Chain A
Amino acid sequence: MRIGLFVPCFIDAFYPQVGIATLELLERFGCDVDYPFDQTCCGQPMVNSGCHAEAAATEQLFVDNFADYDVIVAPSGSCVHQIRDNLTAVEQTAAVKHVRENTFELVEYLHDVLKVEAFPWAKFPHRVGYHDSCNTLRNLGHGKPSELRGPDFSKPRALLHKVEGIELVSPSRPDECCGFGGTFSVTEPEVSGRMGRDKIADHGRAGAEYIVSADTSCLMHQQGCAKRIGAPIQFKHIAEVLNGSAA
């Protein structure tokens, strides 16, 4: 079984350590992982703004790059949501359907497919506030959103609990959006920035030293907000923590 690793554009450009951690983590579990070299993006930036026609060529390139793999794994919830649920600007051929049905977000893949029991190499002796991105929580089903009644569960927290030394803390609004929202971050910068600062402050009040998430785009936004106001909180992608990244 061959896995195609999708490293979304902003991770490729600004957070290579997230791609490296994802690759190494999958290899630790014996996966045969390949990185198709001509990959770019899943089309989300255009589709998020309603411009589906403008995304068609990018979506086609994505499918061409990944159609030969059994499974595609990406460390980004919003991109996986785009591929799985919204990659509709191109004709829905067998290849497109194969790609859409076999793309997994990293936490899902570790939790549901590999059913990982332990991360013996990982130690993270810090207080961590886990950021449920809206896409992973409400579109991919990572956990129970606070709005719904029913049994509580959280796939990413179940994984993080297996990391030695970690202490998870929770903000008072557990799954309030951080305000990134794709193009929303630049079309509504004031509301977006306010939401980002509120989110960081809520984590700070809960005692978090790190905010950890499965969505780098949320982290990029929150990190930018934190730097702007000089908030001392730090940020890590869940792949880095699970792969044994030190602080």
Chain B
Amino acid sequence: MSTPDPSQTQNSAEAVREAQPKPAKARPGQRVNHASAAREFLQSPIHAQSHDERVWAMRQRRDAAAETIPEWEELRDLASQIKTHALTHLDEYLEQFADNAAANGVHVHWAGDAADHNRIVHEIFADHGVKKVIKSKSMLMEECGFRHYMEGVGIDIVETDLGERIQQLDAEDPSHVVVPAVHKMRSDVSQVFAKTLGSDPDNDDAHYLTEQQRQATRPLILDADAGMTGANFAVAETGGFVVCTNEGNADLSANVPNLHVASIGIEKIVPKLSDLGVFIRLLSRSALGSPITQYTSHFRAPKPGGEMHIVLVDNGRSKRLADERFWSSLKCIRCGACMNTCPVFRRSGGLSYGATYTGPLGLILDPSIDAYRYSNLPFASTLNGSCTNVCPVKINIHEQIFEWRQVLAEDDMIPWTKKSTLAAAGRTLASPRAYRAAIKSAHSALKHLPDWALYNKLNAWGQVRDLPDVPAEGSFHDWYRQHRLNKEDPTAGDRE
């Protein structure tokens, strides 16, 4: 699903003067540093504020849409149960889906990982002499590095979703699963289009920019040799699949060329067509607060004279399914509601996660793809729990973030300085005497040290906020001793 919704992208004269923040990407083999990328994002105040407000508005529209459904919480329960059932019988439903799809005249392929996926699709293209491909938005294909792979073998891929096309033209990853260019302002888009499409760099009118993209892309669509889509749902009992978009671009990708290849993650299976009555009602309401996406397209068989292929992709999913703590993350329907409600995502922007999946969803998916590279991400959360409450399939997202921290700490994936600091804290807090001494020395430091010694770059707390005052009555412990125990004996109550 995707929505550029350019009328919602705010703009202002001063925004033109603020360049889009572009956090540096972590090099291969390096840890993503979310905190420093987030700092860079926040140093562009117009972008930062606009991003927070725009993404928060999606959360508000979601609330309003949910309010119109009296049985909203029951729907979430039902969706969670259907996904749990489908995932716990995944082998049977996958075979049922594949058999039915084959009976419908579709070629079904199985890909174990991203490399398999890219190779299989490449082979299909090679068989048909495909050089130019149009595709709709697919997080799975992002996950597989598909566009990058195809560039390497000389096949042109054109994104047809407006937001994704903007990101492709700017050589940037999507920052959000539903609104991939939400971190950009209209002025940023006008700069990208001026450079790549030759449009007027000073015109950032939404209609003008959309029309420029449309005029540039339509001929490419008409000229394409093959079309690709992802899928939001794959229905086992029919062998059909459903793609939800707001621009109708998936229909163009699927229907204009004679060859349609759909890449589908194996967790997208639902048992029955009637299950869609639950998921379609939840998806767009959770994502954007609209009752339904503009287009909910059902695909079942190749068009007359055409050819249809489905590539079912695992890429780590069955391994995750076997993990007692994290399997339920496979219930995700990629609505992005967790991102919209996440106060950290809204303040830091999707690119700060340096990963395919961003926001709370990314925090629990990315470390399963590369634990070291994404080991900082589960710490980019206040564990506030709002993500869990908006999730339409009731994934316990914040609890999984908390679980990931434990996994990463046990596997020595967190920085050594952090672990040794916390180990020292643990030793102090396990000893009443050491603990009391620590409070005394903290009080003494706060009372007697000058500001320059308290507020420096060693004190992360003090970078953005003041330290608390030392209470006149001393600690609670001191007060209790003085007022409730033997006032004369300074060691009253202490057990050594």
Give chain A's interface residues, CB within 8 Å of chain B.
7, 9, 11-17, 19-20, 23, 35, 37-41, 43, 45-46, 48-58, 60-61, 86, 134, 137-139, 145-150, 173, 175-177, 179-196, 198, 220-221, 223-225, 227-228
Q: B347 within 8 Å of A by Cβ?
A: yes
Could you jot down 20 A-B contacts, CB within 8 Å? A12-B475, A13-B439, A17-B473, A37-B432, A37-B495, A41-B429, A48-B383, A50-B408, A51-B409, A58-B430, A137-B385, A139-B385, A149-B72, A177-B384, A187-B379, A189-B461, A189-B464, A190-B39, A194-B42, A195-B382
Residues in A neighbouring B476, C-beta threshold 8 A = 7, 11-12, 16, 19-20
Q: B115 within 8 Å of A by Cβ?
A: no
CB distance from B216 to the nearest CB of A (A): 37
Assembled-state Cα–Cα distance A72/B494 (Å): 20
Q: Are B409's CB and A192's CB within 8 A?
A: no
CB distance from A62 to the nearest CB of B (A): 9
Name the residue of chain A whose CB is nearest to the CB of B440: A13
Q: Are A49's CB and B466's CB within 8 A?
A: no
CB distance from B472 to the nearest CB of A (A): 9
Q: B460 within 8 Å of A by Cβ?
A: yes
CB distance from A194 to the nearest CB of B (A): 5
- Shortest 5 CB-CB contacts between residues of A and residues of B: A193-B464, A181-B382, A50-B405, A224-B465, A57-B430
Assembled-state Cα–Cα distance A195/B343 (Å): 7
Q: Are B343's CB and A176's CB within 8 A?
A: yes
Q: Are A40's CB and B429's CB within 8 A?
A: yes
CB distance from A153 to the nearest CB of B (A): 15
Q: Are B385's CB and A194's CB within 8 A?
A: no
Within 8 A of A (CB), among B363-421: 378-386, 388-390, 398, 402, 404-410, 414, 418-419
Residues in B neighbouring A138, C-beta threshold 8 A = 384-386, 388-389, 398
CB distance from A47 to the nearest CB of B (A): 8
CB distance from A146 to the nearest CB of B (A): 7
Residues in B neighbouring A198, C-beta threshold 8 A = 52
Assembled-state Cα–Cα distance A15/B460 (Å): 21
Q: Are B429's CB and A50's CB within 8 A?
A: no
Residues in B neighbouring A35, C-beta threshold 8 A = 480, 484
Q: Are B460's CB and A186's CB within 8 A?
A: yes
Name the residue of chain B whose CB is nearest to the CB of A222: B465
Q: Are A173's CB and B56's CB within 8 A?
A: yes
Q: Are B463's CB and A189's CB within 8 A?
A: yes
Q: Are A49's CB and B464's CB within 8 A?
A: no
Name the residue of chain B whose CB is nearest to the CB of A194: B347
Assembled-state Cα–Cα distance A190/B48 (Å): 12
CB distance from A8 to the nearest CB of B (A): 10
Query: Contacting A223 at CB < 8 Å: which of B405, B432, B468?
Result: B468
Residues in A neighbouring B407, C-beta threshold 8 A = 50
Q: B103 within 8 Å of A by Cβ?
A: no
CB distance from B438 to the nearest CB of A (A): 9
Residues in A neighbouring B382, C-beta threshold 8 A = 134, 177, 179-182, 184, 192, 195
Query: Contacting A189 at CB < 8 Å: which of B405, B409, B410, B460?
Result: B460
> Interface digits, B425-469 against A, CB 8 Å rule (1 contact, 0 not)?
111011110010001001100000000000000001101111111
Q: B341 within 8 Å of A by Cβ?
A: yes
Residues in A neighbouring B477, C-beta threshold 8 A = 7, 12, 37
Decide yes or no: A224 and B35 within 8 Å by CB, A148-B389, A173-B56, A177-B386 being known contacts.
no
Query: Contacting B425 at CB < 8 Å: which of A46, A147, A184, A189?
Result: A46
Name the residue of chain A whose CB is nearest to the CB of B427: A57
Assembled-state Cα–Cα distance A12/B436 (Å): 10
CB distance from B449 to the nearest CB of A (A): 16
Q: Which of B34, B382, B386, B475 counts the most chain A CB atoms within 10 A? A: B382
CB distance from B456 to the nearest CB of A (A): 13
Name the residue of chain A whose CB is nearest to the CB of B409: A50
CB distance from B459 to the nearest CB of A (A): 9
Q: Are B461's CB and A186's CB within 8 A?
A: yes
Q: B206 within 8 Å of A by Cβ?
A: no
Residues in A neighbouring B187, C-beta threshold 8 A = none
Decide yes or no: A196 and B35 within 8 Å by CB, A48-B383, A50-B405 being known contacts.
no
Query: Contacting A195 at CB < 8 Å: which of B347, B414, B463, B471?
Result: B347
Residues in B neighbouring A49, C-beta threshold 8 A = 379, 405, 409, 414, 418, 422
Q: B479 within 8 Å of A by Cβ?
A: yes
Decide yes or no: A147 and B439 within 8 Å by CB, A15-B468, A193-B463, A194-B42 being known contacts.
no
Query: Contacting B479 at CB < 8 Å: which of A16, A55, A179, A190?
Result: A16
Q: Are A191's CB and B442's CB within 8 A?
A: no
Q: Are A147's CB and B468's CB within 8 A?
A: no
Q: Are A54's CB and B426's CB within 8 A?
A: yes
CB distance from B492 to the nearest CB of A (A): 9
CB distance from B289 to the nearest CB of A (A): 13
Told that A58-B429, A177-B343, A188-B34 touch, could you supply 9 new A-B pairs with CB distance under 8 A?
A16-B473, A40-B430, A48-B383, A50-B405, A50-B409, A54-B423, A58-B430, A147-B390, A195-B344
